Chains A and B, each alone.
Chain A
Amino acid sequence: MGFYRPDSGGEIHFHGRRIDDWSVARARSLGIETVYQERALSEKQPIWRNMFMGREPRTRWGLIDVKRMRSESARLMSEHMGFTSAAVHPDNVVTTMSGGEKQGVAITRALYFDAELVILDEPTMGLSLSETKKTLDFVSGIKKAGKSAIFIDHNIFHVYPVVDRLYVLDRGKVAGVYAKSEITMDELIDRLYRVARSGSMD
């Protein structure tokens, strides 16, 4: 299975360069950020710790810059997320937040570090309707900010409105590639039914 490494015969290229030695640090240094299905948050920790997980900023004394982590988190939460509720003060622990707010932290965290490419792995899982809409708005926001996103999801109704290009995967292989302008949502749904039954898009 391809976990950290592509399956045999597969290659990963970024900006035309083939890269094999993947790690979290390597991906970050290339400007790739990931929003995981399980959100990868530490629920008992305050928001400011979650915002900077694994790359806490340091002062020139080598100590972590808690003041900056707090103030940056507060700024991001209100400017980028539009959060005004009492539950999203940077000192609040994540466990007190709603699913959408948690996803907001995970996505803001990905965007804050000037990613060139944001990979979202089923970001709408377990969210309410309005929270899903908010999350999809964030995804559109990535595009507006001039950055790329790979949006992985099972739900075509979430995917279709926000993407430019669609890759359909079936049984571990690419079953079809479409530009959104080439195909309507209804046609795409028909083909998805077909591929699920027969393994072929056409």
Chain B
Amino acid sequence: MATGAIPNRPVDNRIAPPSALRRHGSQLGIIGVGLAMWLAFVVAAPAVFTNLDIYRAFAQTTPQFGIIALALTFVVITGEIDLSFPSIMALGTAAFCLTTAYGGAPWWIGIVCALATGAACGLLNGLLVAKLNIPSLVITIGTSFLYRGLELVLMNGTGVPLTADKYPAMHALLRASVFGVPVQTLWMIAILIVFWILLNRTRFGAHVFLVGDNPTSARLMGVNAVSVKARAFVLVGVTAVFSGLLTSIYGYYFWPTTGDGFLLNTIASVFLGGTSVFGGTGSVVGTFVASYIIGAINAGIVSAGINAFYTQLAFGLVIVISVVLQTLIERRIRRQSLTGR
């Protein structure tokens, strides 16, 4: 199968493009995994999986972590990681509650304050990582406690009800359906499109790849690695707060523990989507598909009539097998291109 390309090797001046498999291998892989899983669910529980309701359920809950995963993809491509976003979700939403429920400001001022809080948290993470060269794995554990602690102190550990009659605009924006499609997924699709353009069609995106691939080369070629990394972290901060609002409005209540349980789902989505932990390669489309796979496993297992205790097992199997396959495919492609020249 892999040797099928050899008869087409170029003669004289023709230059052959790399195969589609080579260029989009990891994305095709994850889409394949997603389809296979979906088929398995349809076979196991046809009554549930031919009904739209189950899809509506995924479409409402997956974006809660999937939107952050899209932004986290940028940070991972630069070769870093952010573990503080669950705390930023809570701190940003706390800022919203403080300005609106306690401060009496209108909802849109609350949103601006919340997103600004997220941007500030992300900027602090980014500067600590990029400017002081502290490993992001270490420092974002620290800032995670910092942001969570700040939120608990500010809120005094209490929650805030976010009912539809108090916040009608917020519920319309973040919880309603548009022509039957949950607005959460519409937001995620919109953010995917914006982030795809940002990553693949702007200088910032180009520099995200360069910085993650080889920071020394990037610097020698005039790329400002500090600014690129800081902006990637700001992106995570802002989307984390957006997702905190999405999650809290969905539950009609702001819990001071908002964000707990989001960490691993989100990070798993990024890696399952084919973004390399070594930096320099990655795709937001892969992350998007992987988020829905992870979002579907839980609901899928339960509605297929399997004991819910199997959820984590299935989770682990899908993630481990996919990542192993990605690594094997990538190694094979690389060897093929080294010898096929």
| A interface residues, Cβ below 8 angstroms from B | 23-25, 28, 34, 36, 38-45, 49, 53-56, 58, 62-64, 66, 74, 77-78, 83-89, 91-92, 95-96
Query: Given A86-B340, A96-B341 in contact, is the A91-B210 Cβ separation under 8 Å?
Result: no
**Of B218, B281, B337, which is within 8 A of A54 by CB?**
B218
| Chain B residue, CB-CB nearest to A61 | B201
Q: Once the chains are docked, how many angstroms separate the CA of A34 from the CA of B221?
A: 9
| Chain A residue, CB-CB nearest to B214 | A42
Query: Given A45-B213, A54-B221 in contact, is the A87-B202 Cβ separation under 8 Å?
Result: no
| A contacts with B: majority SS | loop
| Chain A residue, CB-CB nearest to B197 | A63
Query: Given A42-B209, A53-B210, A92-B337 in contact, is the A86-B9 Cβ separation under 8 Å?
Result: yes
Q: Once the chains are docked, how many angstroms separate the CA of A66 from the CA of B280?
A: 18
| Chain A residue, CB-CB nearest to B8 | A86
- CB<8 Å pairs between A and B, sample of 26: A24-B220, A40-B217, A40-B220, A41-B217, A42-B213, A45-B213, A45-B280, A49-B209, A53-B217, A53-B221, A54-B221, A54-B222, A58-B203, A63-B197, A64-B203, A64-B205, A64-B206, A66-B201, A74-B15, A77-B15, A85-B10, A85-B341, A86-B340, A87-B337, A92-B337, A96-B334
**Chain A contacts for B327, CB-based, 8 A:** none
What is the total number of residues of chain B having a CB less than 8 Å from a CB of chain A? 36
| CB pair A91 B18 closer than 8 Å | yes
In the complex, besides A53-B218, A86-B341, A91-B23, 13 extra interface pairs with C-beta distance below 8 angstroms are A24-B221, A40-B217, A42-B280, A44-B213, A54-B210, A62-B202, A64-B202, A77-B15, A83-B15, A86-B15, A87-B337, A92-B18, A92-B337
Q: Is B313 an interface residue (CB 8 A)?
A: no
**Chain A contacts for B280, CB-based, 8 A:** 42, 44-45
Query: Given A49-B210, A63-B201, A86-B341 in contact, is the A38-B17 Cβ separation under 8 Å?
Result: no
